[in-house]
Structure 1
Amino acid sequence: MADNNVSDHSVVQIKDDDKDDVIAEDRNGVELIVSSIRGKLHQNPPSTARSCIFGIPNVLHRHNEKAFVPNLVSIGPFQHGKKNLKVMQEIKLWYLHCLLDRKPTSETSLEYLVEAIKGMEQDCRDCYGEKIHMSSEKFVEMMVVDGCFIVELFRKYAKEVPRNEDDPVFYTAWMKLALTKDLFLLENQLPWKVVDCLFHHTMEKDEPESNALLLLALKFFEVSAFGQDPQPDPEPKHLLDGIRSSLLASYPSQDTQRYWEPIPSVTELLQAGVKFERRSNTWDNMLDITFENGVMEIPPISIEENAESLFRNLIAYEQCDPSIKSCNIASYAVILDNLINTSKDADFLIQKEIIVTKLSKEDIACLFNRLYSDTIVGYFCYVELTKNVNEYYQDRWHRWQTILSRDYFSNPWSIFSLAAALLILGFTFLQTLYALLTYY
């Protein structure tokens, strides 16, 4: 009996020891997990207040992936090293050779340019909304090669420097269009300070200095940027920001609000008597849409094949950059989306030469109907306009006026018919009145 008690006590002791081992193992596992998490924690935020170049969020990327991805050239770290873009790397290096070989100034040496960009490396890294996992040497090399390519490209396009007869960029029909589209992509940007620094260190003696680089850039994008005349902003953050700033340069400031109401389509507004007019001599102010006394004036806009890509990248930029408060481009997309519900609406604006395009009316309607999906227009810029349009549309008198004008005053025969009907009605009334008076 005593032996059994000893045996039972030993079993209990063994079980307690196993339990302690399990607890110790659990603690060790917890400590390993905690250590792993602590090693991954960041003391600093992933991006800084100076960030201005961002990767496209998946929620926007999924609507049209091709609108955000370069087809020919990579600029900056986000698309760097992609296999389908490596052919253009040779042309970039050749452009750098052309620039250095021309040697416009005493400071135009590869050593001097690398040293200049090396001194601003951290500032350049801070411009990207994601951490760039590249060595210092690789990062600076990329900045110098890509930046010099852009500078040389703009100068060649403006014919400020000679073009080589074998240059495929200018003597291959499709490359200029492809480059234009690639260079305004949000993920394909360099900090402006890099391009500006390289431009000034390689500037010819007789080359104008004030806003010269930005004017060259806007001239390069002029046809593709909705056909608008360039309006330079002296301090852009990158090329896409320069395009956006030029579109806003002559746009008068408007009251902005978070709450806004949609407006009816072109067809519905026409039925309510609204007139649409193309504003003349305003190819530099496409955003300045006005509504007064039943007349909506809309500046002309040129819609090319790459218009959707430019719109989407501008809207994505407004969505990603916290320093941008007024969503001007997204607000404009909202107005055009409201006005254009069907191809009939698009065709009317094309006929009025408000939209200038070689695309079909179906393509135009499709473009604006899905342009700002999954975006938040935080501060809407056409609050007063939408309010006035809706008030006018909801006034029944304007609709009655339109019906009278369309059905009874649209041509002389309708007017004569209405006048004759009124005369007959008047004579019938007088005859009835005379008969009643005679009877009594």
Structure 2
Amino acid sequence: MVHLLARTLEAEEAIRDECANAILDLVGEARRCYSQYIDLDKYKLAMILLVDGCFILELFLRYSDIENQEETEEEDAVNDDPVVPGGSSIDPIINDSRIVATLQHDLALLENQIPFFVLLTLFDLINKSVTLPHTLTKYALLFFQSALGFSDESVANCATQLLKTGIQLHGNTEAIAEENFLAIEFHDGVVKMPSLRIHEATESIFRNLIAFEQCNIIGTSHYIASYAFLMRSILRSSRDVDLLKEKRIIKDMNSGDGGGEDLAIFFKSLCEGVVLKDFYFSDLCEMVNEYYSYRTSWLHWRRLFLNWRRLKAITKDKWRESMSDLHKKYFSNIGATISITTALLLIFTGIQTVYAVISYYHHHL
């Protein structure tokens, strides 16, 4: 509460009393939001709502501050401006992805929730003193964004499915995995990935690096976790693993040509319990998914066109065959031709006579 109130320009005691009095007026309405009876007098309940509300608002604002700090550092890096490592974004709570995930879970529990109008009242009082850039709803969505699954953290299809639509996977011989296995490129329907050697120490190295990213309080990006999530999305079966081995993207030093299913399970297990704050390959996955959708649509229309041409050819052959049979059966000699022609003329003449009689009676009756 102290940190939240310190954001305002007013005296701490004055803004605290104003918030307390505002919450005290909402106690009756807040009680009606809970199904069970709350055995607390209005002053104790008001104090709980005040402290919890200030904590949640400060949490939302800190999380937004960290996000803005990271965006500013990225812009400074693009503009070649000096960036202080960690900067003002060193926060032992917000920068620990596991703590953030725990807070998201706890705040989502019904028994831990407080009425939204309580938060809104506190937010408006704080915003009156210092203008905040977002609404309360926006701050809440920013905080719960990763838990709600709004971000794209994978390629939508596995390696074999990508290959079926014409997307090629090649080992990038120009990049050495030991130096930078994150150097993955996509251009003109070709994904180039550095070769990754799988040996006995690979799992422990990956797990330690991911744990370091999860616990680091200086805002380290989740590069290793992003790579694990990407590989999990590409490798979903032993066929996918075999394909990447064939393309020299994976070299399994443990099992030679086998162990495909184990490798798929390996990358899947690496991602269990991992909170991915920023997905390093989001742009790459977006390009691959868009290209996949385009190729799938193009192949669909191509199949329809080929089927239409095939049906047209079959119909044309059937028509020719029917006309040939008709000619052989009825028009093979002059006498049969004359007989058919005479019969058709008599039929048309009879139809014309019937219509003339009907028309005559219609006008004279």
TM-score (norm 1): 0.35
* Greater gyration radius: 2
TM-score (norm 2): 0.41
Question: Which has the larger helix fraction?
Answer: 2
